[in-house]
Structure 1
């Protein structure tokens, strides 16, 4: 797995059951996140129960990893509440369960007050890109996120304290 010594670990809340990042979800990926100046990364190994055919990781799980890494990159760098609006994925090489992977996410462009383009790449343990994604993310203020039911007060407080979202 990728060394995280040049990255700062991003705190994670432990009061939710997100499939991608919650430490409380025993069926989930339990991803942890680290950031440098431009990128958020996560080292992850896909467990047996998330395989597709044979020992190949299920494409939906790869999609989840890419969506999760882009979401955390958006939170960290844009410092607003975001949600995936659309997502394009290119599956490049097979990804095998039980093998260490590195997910990498970054902001490609903020295209407007309410829109950003993100990129996610999933690398195998040899550093070869196995899946890539670009996605459009909707950007919300905390007030709008609360009104739409996207985030509750506890989540908004966490985002404000950790990411400086106001």
Structure 2
């Protein structure tokens, strides 16, 4: 297995809860490519608890959805939105310790969609949660709600992705 971590550039200065650098309460995820996967290492804080010392299920779902989304963005070089996601919570996810979320494309689907999977791992590699999702691939002209500057920045990022 390829252990090299190749950083994946993202757009700085936006408000996404999961990866935005401007969101004061966000997760501020960074991404890297490792073989055929996109990964992110994160330490959740006490602000992310559900039950005492355990991450809230909504945060876990967000991590899985975000890593699958960036996996699609990176490997498909396309804008995408989540059509559906299925999450399996296998073990409690602790806060204040390093965890890794890892995504991969599982099926190219059609020219307008694809499937991805994700796992959330503890530091020993044990799977704590996993997810599967279907993602709709969108052309730039379908994203009328996004500012033109943001779309241009994303198109520039696509050019940088291997």
Shorter-chain TM band: over 0.9
Q: Deviations over 1:30-53 (max 9, x none)?
A: 100001341100000111111001
Q: Deviations over 1:48-100 (max 9, x none)?
A: 11100111100000000001101111000011110000000000111011111
Q: Deviations over 1:2-31 (max 9, x none)?
A: xx9712111122221111011222211110
Change beyond 3 A, Cα 1:37–1:161: farther
What is the rounded CA distance, in whole Å, between the counterparts of 1:5 and 1:109 in structure 2?
23
What is the rounded CA distance, in whole Å, between the counterparts of 2:151 and 2:35 in structure 1?
24
**Aligned twin of 1:35:** 33
Structure 1: 5+ residue stretches without partners:
none
**Aligned twin of 2:151:** 156
TM-score, normalised by the number of residues in structure 1: 0.90
- Say which SS state the counterpart of residue 21 (structure 1) adopts: coil
Runs of 4+ aligned residues of structure 1 deviating over 4 Å after TM superposition are none
How many residues matched?
Answer: 159
CA RMSD of aligned residues (A): 1.6
What is the rounded CA distance, in whole Å, between the counterparts of 2:157 and 2:70 in structure 1?
12
Give runs of aligned pairs for residues 68-147 of structure 1, distance below 5 A: 68-146=66-144
What is the rounded CA distance, in whole Å, between the counterparts of 2:150 and 2:157 in structure 1?
10
Q: How far did residue 127 of structure 1 move?
A: 0.9
- Say which SS state the counterpart of residue 164 (structure 1) adopts: helix
TM-score, normalised by the number of residues in structure 2: 0.92
